[in-house]
Structure 1
């Protein structure tokens, strides 16, 4: 009768390999804990200036109220005396720098990133824009601050006043556009891009105060809260890059320098078919 071949006994697990695996797990857990703490810390630091301003607004701090009233009165007088200037401000506020215009720009950018198969960068752009908009609406509803009430108003706006939705949207949208597109801009022109973004953000705030639809502190609040959203989401994106083994980037170079790479051609067949996950 033929002898049935016996299977070799299973090798004993290597204690050293098991120790290495456990050590890697512990180190990954520690890195996760550190990242969570740093994320909370970064969010807190970015939100502290806005939180302080919110306390002053809610507490009706007299110096802040005087500053708001004085700025509104002076700029309103200028708006009444110069109707041509006022018409220009309304065009900038209602069309060029309108939140809908800026959100459309971010939506088009997100679509282009999806075409480039830069999935994570597209998710970051969409999350920053949508998250910023929702946070702004939530804070408005909670604070319920009334808009300026001026004699002979040159413009009207619905809803609550703090923080300025125009200022916050300009901050988040310009931040997204800048940090995504910087790698595609020649280095000598990047300073100009930063300047254009800064002028746009400042210009939006000025138009809202000059048109009498926001207090000065509303605009400052929009800038601070929008900046906090961009800082926090950008830090989270950098944490992902580190986990993926990619080098950390300098914010002045944009969030993902690899965006300058050629778009990979999709492969239709084979186990490795698919697209590159950026």
Structure 2
């Protein structure tokens, strides 16, 4: 009796992570490493933070006009409440067009960002720079920078939504330019005014970007039917 050989079972290949997944992994690792270094008070990082702070503060105390400009920018243009107002307008537009799920997703992401930011501040408890002749003041712990993290979350969500809705090339380029200037600008103002260390600003950017990447991936996978089938992350 002739037997037919059973073909070997094919092995199921491991799914390759998407570009967004790789980005999230890189951001998560960098955020965790920076958090560990700050919490451990790693000497080279503290020395670099102090060097940057001293150089910028020396410039600030000799230029009150530029200090005033930076205070206007940080208190009105790139203030966390201004960023939240922008997200509120975006949420209102999404609700107007009937996309309640996506509107809720934006709100939840922003709220999680605020909670994460405050939780990290409480957990690390890092002191802000102290000066004999301060040019500005700020409250709460230093790490991570709330201004930087809120700006990255707000503009990150804006860029994600523009990608989802297929923004034209000119609109996309303009939005990227505004986002880049705002994120860099908010970080520089906080450093120039002497209320944050460099690693505070970097941490705010990393944690904010990681949160937006995670939010986009989760929405694409389970947020809606469109997200489950080939929608853009």
Same fold (TM over 0.5): yes
The offset of 1:181, in angstroms, is 3.6
Q: Which residue number in structure 1 is paired with residue 28 of structure 2?
A: 47
Report the structure number with the largest CA radius of gyration: 1
Q: Are 1:191 and 2:166 an aligned pair?
A: no
TM-score of the superposition, structure 1-length normalised? 0.72
Spell out the pairing of 1:28-107 with structure 2 (5 A cutoff). 44-107=25-88
Check the 8 A contact 2:113/2:150 in 1, yes or no: yes
Check the 8 A contact 2:162/2:172 in 1, yes or no: no
Q: Which residue number in structure 2 is paired with residue 210 of structure 1?
A: 192
Which ranges in structure 1 are unaligned for 5 or more consecutive residues?
A: 1-33, 250-254, 256-278
* C-alpha distance after superposition, 1:244-267 (max 9, x if no partner): 454232xxxxx5xxxxxxxxxxxx
Q: In the aligned structure 1, how far is the partner of 2:26 from the partner of 2:113?
A: 17
Structure 1 counterpart of 2:98, from 96, 107, 117: 117
Q: In the aligned structure 2, how far is the partner of 1:102 from the partner of 1:242?
A: 26
Give the root-mean-square deviation of aligned CA atoms: 2.5
* SS of the residue 2:139 aligns to: coil
Give the paired residue count.
Answer: 216
Q: In the aligned structure 1, how far is the partner of 2:111 from the partner of 2:97?
A: 21
Structure 2 counterpart of 1:222, from 182, 185, 204: 204
* C-alpha distance after superposition, 1:193-215 (max 9, x if no partner): 11210110111011001100000
Q: In the aligned structure 2, how far is the partner of 1:184 from the partner of 1:91?
A: 34
* SS of the residue 2:119 aligns to: helix
Q: Which residue number in structure 1 is paired with residue 131 of structure 2?
A: 150
Q: Which residue number in structure 2 is paired with residue 28 of structure 1?
A: none
Q: Which residue number in structure 1 is paired with residue 114 of structure 2?
A: 133
Q: In the aligned structure 2, how far is the partner of 1:71 from the partner of 1:125?
A: 35
TM-score of the superposition, structure 2-length normalised? 0.85
* C-alpha distance after superposition, 1:186-235 (max 9, x if no partner): 22331221121011011101100110000000000000000110000011
Q: Which residue number in structure 1 is paired with residue 154 of structure 2?
A: 173
Q: Which residue number in structure 2 is paired with residue 258 of structure 1?
A: none
